[in-house]
Amino acid sequence: MTSEQAFGLWQLLLSAYPTQVVLAPTQALYLDHLRALPWRDGRTESAIRGLIAARAEPHLPSIGLVVGATGVAPEAAHLLVEAMRTGQELVPDLASRTGWAVGQAATPIPPPAPDGTPMLETGWDLTEEERRANLRRLGGLVRELRNREAAS
């Protein structure tokens, strides 16, 4: 999310707890975490509003609660730290174990064509002769690896 969006969420948190005194290092830490979180078309703001509405405590929620409310599981904490360090943000990524990625989500594998052959991107169409040559090279590499493994 942008710095402006993160600051808006920080102001939202502060306005919900007006008696809370927050020192500058704590504010910087919250803003760093908020900046690394995904914006997701306002769903992050809705999640933080829900957290504020559900809490009865008169003090600012911990960073862990704020991060958890936005849907980032503890298993993705290392990715959150990486996003904070690199200045990027987390993005949903169903291809990863944690469900999150830093920066851009992984490119999905294209579905196969109706006839069952894998669809290749434009410019990657192989002739049957090229495909067979690639398979021969691959077979040669496999045999070479087996021979090296047997020799060692």
pLDDT tens digits for range 87-139: 888 888 888 888 888 886 555 556 666 776 665 555 567 788 888 888 888 88
Same domain, yes or no, for 24 and 79? Answer: yes
Check: CB of residue 136 under 8 Å from CB of residue 130: no
Q: Which domain holds residue 39?
A: 3-102
Same domain, yes or no, for 116 and 96? Answer: no
pLDDT value at position 105?
A: 52
pTM of the model: 0.63
Last residue of a domain, one of 81, 102, 123: 102
Q: What's the whole-number mean pLDDT along residues 45-68?
A: 91
Same domain, yes or no, for 30 and 11? Answer: yes
Of 11-15, 60-64, 92-96, 107-111, give the lowest mean pLDDT range.
107-111
Number of domains in the chain: 2
Check: CB of residue 14 under 8 Å from CB of residue 61: no
